[in-house]
Amino acid sequence: MTSVYDFSADSLSGQNVDLKQYQGKVLLIVNTASKCGFTPQYQGLEELHKQFAGQPFEVLGFPCNQFGQQEPGNAEEIGAFCEKNYGVTFPVFAKIDVNGDNAHPLYQHLKKNAPGILGTEGIKWNFTKFLVRKDGSIHDRYAPTTKPAELADEIRKLIAQ
C-alpha cells in the first residue's frame, strides 16, 4: 500500500527530500501561501510545531500559487517571508501545484485517499490540511477555515497510538 513516505519533494533550497525520513511521525501537511487571508495560520502551524517538539510530529508546508496567485515569490522570498513574519522553523518545501495535470504526486495521493466534501478531490484553497498517521496513512482532511490549534487534540491522540 502506498503511503506518504513513498514520496519525495524538493526543499526550498532545492534539495530532494525523501519523506521516508518522517516515517513513524504524525504529519500535518498543508498547502500554504504568503498573500492569503489564511496566511496568519503560519503562526498557528508554528505553535503546533513547538507544542509537539520532541514528539513524533512534524508540520510540512507546501507553498502553492494556484489560488488567486497568492504565492508569487521564489523560494528565497518564501523562506524569508515565513521566517521574518512568523518565525517558521518547520520544514517548508519548494512551491508546487496541488491541482491539475502538474499536481505534485504527494498531493495526488493525498487527494485520492482523503477526498473533500461530497467526494471531491480538488484542493479548494490555500491552507487545506491533511493529518497523517505514524504509518503514513491519511487520517483526515481539514478545510482552510480549520485553525491549526483545533487539531491539537487529534494530533495528541495520533501521537499516543
List active site positions: 36
Query: Which residues on neighbouring strands pair with residue 8, listed in sequence order?
Result: 18
d(CA 11, CA 137) in angstroms, rounded, equals 22
d(CA 7, CA 21) in angstroms, rounded, equals 10
Q: Residue holding cell 534539495?
A: 15
Q: Largest Cα–Cα distance of the chain, in whole Å?
A: 40
| Grid cell listed for 129 | 490540511
d(CA 36, CA 45) in angstroms, rounded, equals 15
Residue 59 contacts residue 34 (beta carbons within 8 Å): no
Q: Which run of H or E residues covers position 25?
A: none
Length of the chain (residues): 161
